[in-house]
Amino acid sequence: MKSNLIDKLKSRKAVIGIVGLGYVGLPLTLRYCEVGYKVIGFDIDEDKIDIINRGDSYIEHISAESIRKAVAAGFEPTTDFSRAAEVDALILCVPTPLNKYREPDLSFVLDTADSLVPYLHRDMVVSLESTTYPGTTDEELKPRIEARGLAVGSDIFLVFSPEREDPGNQNFSTRTIPKVCGGHTPGCLEVGLALYGSVIDKVVPVSSTRAAELTKLLENIHRSVNIGLVNEMKIVADKMGIDIHEVIRAAATKPFGFVPYFPGPGIGGHCIPIDPFYLTWKAREYGMHTRFIELAGEINSSMPDYVVAKVADGLNSRRKSINGSKILILGIAYKKNVDDMRESPSVFLMEKLRDLGASIAYSDPHIPVFPKMRQHQFSLSSVQLTADSLKDFDCVLLTTDHDKFDYDLIGLNSQLLVDCRGKFREPADHIIKA
């Protein structure tokens, strides 16, 4: 069975099923369609299915033209999970958030797996791409699959291959980002390499699904810890009257032994604010307390409060309070040049300032209307930046440094400008670094 499946995958005759058509699943879908695979895309969101069928896109950096080409090539989006019976490969790209206790919430993965299990069959491969703690694939997915009467490693093949999407990154694409893959058995790994080998330039094999799961966590913990370090350095530098961005730029001239990370108002996206907690939670099972990781998380999660204090100081110096002030947030995406708002520190800042009595508005060229979110509600539309509109606000708070912003316009016309991104290098009485 393994050889038959590998042959189908390598000859591109296999039908690929991708579950979750978001920032990870949709680009992967388009890549499989691009090289000639038949793809069925699964999602529980009817609106996404309707948008795709119209030939439109709901993710800014994915063009409508690429969607239309995929549909013309046979891509079928659906909410009907029974069609999983038609595929040779299932790739799960669903969210893995935290619950209100900052513990792993695997409900999306497990509910999706439970919905798919009745339609699993022999001679197919299941790949999990959702970031999670080591052991999820073999502790949670494997028993569910084998309850169907399918032996993993002989009847059906199970792998973990963590997503590495970076929305808005012009230097790397789904095809060019190397892909780690670990199998439950050597045979599973062999099938996994065939699954991804035709669409990804370089597939990196590791010895197990647990090694692949931990690889993804290490990547994001590495970033979280270094961002935590530079955020703490920002506070120290500020107390000393030193511009941390100038220091980072100078340190980055060293051609070895230093990687520049930049401070901000917090950390956002679906990975870095969340993934480290998956490991800290799992480590407790082994009697380990991951103090270094948790300290970085504490520092990063405290940054919005630091920024609010800077806003308060700036307004206070002008004999104003946050309560009653009009504050404009520049950029509500979690990083520059994208429309992705997942875990954006800008939104947490908006809520904190609103709770303190401020009148909040925002401007973001990538997000014209504040979207419906499970945890955050604002009935706002993006403010067009003009000299008059900027002057109307007591404070302008730069949280996401999109390239589309006119920084000369912003600098000249803001009464008070709090800069969280180091965009304004020249000191000015009305500019505060945060």
Res. 350: pLDDT tops 90? yes
Res. 147: pLDDT tops 90? yes
Q: What is the tens place of the pLDDT at every residue in 78-89?
A: 999 999 999 999
* Mean per-residue pLDDT, 270-295: 87
* Mean per-residue pLDDT, 116-140: 97
Res. 257: pLDDT tops 90? yes
| Helix, strand, coil in percent for the chain, rounding step 5 | 40, 15, 45
CA atoms of 241 and 421, how far apart (whole Å): 17
Catalytic residues: 271
The pLDDT-based confidence of 99 (bands split at 50, 70, 90) is confident
Res. 237: pLDDT tops 90? yes
The pLDDT-based confidence of 26 (bands split at 50, 70, 90) is very high
- Secondary structure (DSSP) of 402-418: -TTS-HHHHHHH-SSEE
* Inter-residue contact 371 to 341 (CB < 8 Å): yes
- Secondary structure (DSSP) of 383-397: PPP-HHHHHT-SEEE
Least confident of 27-31, 280-284, 320-324, 412-416: 280-284
Q: How many CA atoms lie within 13 A of 58 on its CB side?
A: 17
pLDDT of residue 170: 83
* Inter-residue contact 368 to 408 (CB < 8 Å): no
* Mean per-residue pLDDT, 67-95: 96
Radius of gyration (Cα) for the chain, nearest Å?
A: 24
Bridge partners (DSSP) of residue 127 are 91, 159
pTM: 0.91
Q: Which of 394, 396, 418 is nearest to 323 (CA)?
A: 394
* Mean per-residue pLDDT, 212-239: 96
The pLDDT-based confidence of 267 (bands split at 50, 70, 90) is confident
* Inter-residue contact 305 to 339 (CB < 8 Å): no
- Secondary structure (DSSP) of 113-182: HHHHGGG--SSEEEEE-S---TTHIIIIIHHHHHTTT--BTTTEEEEE------TT-SS--TTTS-EEEE
The pLDDT-based confidence of 274 (bands split at 50, 70, 90) is confident
Mean pLDDT of the chain: 95
pLDDT of residue 376: 78
Res. 1: pLDDT tops 80? no
Q: Which domains are assigned to the chain?
A: 2-207 (3.40.50.720), 227-433 (3.40.50.720)
Least confident of 105-109, 272-276, 292-296, 317-321: 272-276
Res. 168: pLDDT tops 90? no
Bridge partners (DSSP) of residue 32 are none
* Mean per-residue pLDDT, 310-334: 97
* Mean per-residue pLDDT, 268-274: 78
Q: Which of 59, 82, 85, 89 is nearest to 161 (CA)?
A: 89
Res. 273: pLDDT tops 80? no
